[in-house]
Amino acid sequence: MRIKICGITQIEQGKAIADFGATALGFICVPTSPRYVSPNQLKMLIERLPNTVNQIGVFANASADLILQTVSQTHLTGVQLHGDESPEFCVFLKQCLPNIEIIKALRIKTTDALVESQAYFNCVDTLLLDAYHPSMLGGTGKTLDWDRLASFTPPIPWLLAGGLTPDNINEALGLISPDGIDLSSGVERSPGDKDLAKVKKLFQQLET
């Protein structure tokens, strides 16, 4: 199972999280986010973090030019689209970045959002389901209705996000079977400051 820890802002925390067993680290490239890292900061982070984990940049309604420039500057291995990006935009980005993983995040408010996910099946490499919040794009700490996701079996890999913590991860995985999980606020002291004790507990829970 893929384990992505998102909102990394500090090199030493990123290294420790990779050592615990994370398969991907996420970096927020949205300037309005409290977890934002600039392209220059991101470049330095990636240069000093182990290349054994995927390095995913998270964007929201950014221009294709900005995304392409950031990928070129920082050598990200993946791009996560967390805004209102259309399937057509995803296809264009995939054509421009054929060797980069494209992840489309969907904020699930109603079952309609699950139906709408079908439009992305042939446009991206991976889906990510997050909890809906009217004013926040991610890191909300809100959980999804896991029972409602029990029958979600898309033809491409998908990651579960939204309010996951070391204390509820096994409950969630007992109800649904995603290809991976994505945590941010559930393993933090404050936005961008990861609580390594919580991260360690997460991996201990996953081993039980």
Per-residue pLDDT of the chain (208 residues; tens, 9 = 90+): 999 999 999 999 999 999 999 999 999 999 999 999 999 999 999 999 998 999 999 999 999 999 999 999 999 999 999 999 999 999 999 999 999 999 999 988 766 778 889 999 999 999 999 985 444 454 555 678 888 888 899 999 999 999 999 999 999 999 999 999 999 999 999 999 999 999 999 999 999 7
Q: Are strands 158-160 and 180-183 parallel, antiparallel or unpaired?
A: parallel
Cα–Cα distance, 171 to 169 (Å, whole number): 5
Residue listed under structure tokens 């998908």: 158
**Pair of tokens at residue 98:** 């054929």
Domain extents for the chain? 2-207
User: Which positions are catalytic?
Assistant: 6, 130
Helix (H, G, I), strand (E, B) or coil at 119: helix
How many contiguous H segments (helices) and E segments (strands) does the chain have? 7, 10
Asked if residue 30 lies in contact with residue 137, where contact means CB atoms within 8 angstroms, the answer is yes
What pTM does this model have? 0.93
Nearest to 116 by CA among 71, 146, 152, 147: 152
CATH topology for 2-207?
TIM Barrel (3.20.20)
